[in-house]
Amino acid sequence: MNLPAIRIHHAFPYLRLQGAAKAIEFYTKAFEAVEQFRLTEPSGRIGHAEIKIGDTTIMLADEYPEYGTQGPITLGGTTVAMHLHVDAVDALVDRAVGAGATLVRPLENQFYGERTGVIRDPFGHEWLLGEQIEAMTPEEMQRRFAQLTQPSPPQ
C-alpha cells in the first residue's frame, strides 16, 4: 500500500481548563504570554484561544463537559507538564508564584545541566521551569543518570 507523504508542520500544546479568561491573565502576568486571539461564546465561555509564550503558540479553552473536554482540576490532576526553558529561572519562579502559582518542587541544579523547578498554575497545569547551567552531550547526561539511579550497595 502506498501512503502519501505526510509533513507535520507544528505540534501545539492545547490546555483544557476551568476559567480560560483568567488563565490568559495568569499566563500574561507569570510568563509574559501574548494573546493572539480568542473565540468567546455569548455566555463568556472561551471555545478556543491562542497565546504565545516566547516563540511557542499554546492553545487553550474552557472545559466543554458536553464533549468530554475537562481540565486537570475536574479530573483531579494532570499527567502532562509544560517545560519553559528560560534565561533567568529564579526570577521566573518568583514571578509565577507571585501571580498565583503554587511551588511544587523548588529550584535545584540537576544532573542534566539545568536549574529546574516545578510550579502548578491556578488551573491545575504543571510547568517545569528551567535554565541551562551546563552544556553537555546526551551521552554525559546518560552517564550521570545511570550513576544517579544505580542501586545503593547493601549495608
Residue 93 covered by a domain: yes
Question: Over the stretch 13-52, which tens digit does the pLDDT of each residue have?
Answer: 999 999 999 999 999 999 999 999 999 999 999 999 999 9
Residue 13 amino acid letter: P
The answer as to whether 44 is a domain residue is yes
Q: Using one digit for the tens of pLDDT, what is the confidence trace for 84-125?
A: 999 999 999 999 999 999 999 999 999 999 999 999 999 999
* Cell representation of residue 75: 479530573
In this structure, what CATH number is given to the domain that contains residue 98? 3.10.180.10
Do residues 61 and 70 touch, judged by C-beta distance below 8 A? no
The DSSP code sequence of 37-66 is EEEE-TTS-EEEEEEEETTEEEEEEE-BGG
| Inside any domain, residue 7 | no
Are 96 and 28 in contact by the 8 Å Cβ rule? The answer is no
Assess if residue 3 is contained within a domain: no
Which range (2-11, 118-127, 142-151) has the least confidence?
A: 2-11
Number of domains in the chain: 1
Q: List beta partners, residue 16.
A: 61
> Does the residue 64 lie in any domain?
yes
Domain holding 122, by residue range, is 14-149
Whether residue 5 lies inside any domain: the answer is: no
Q: DSSP letter at 108?
A: E
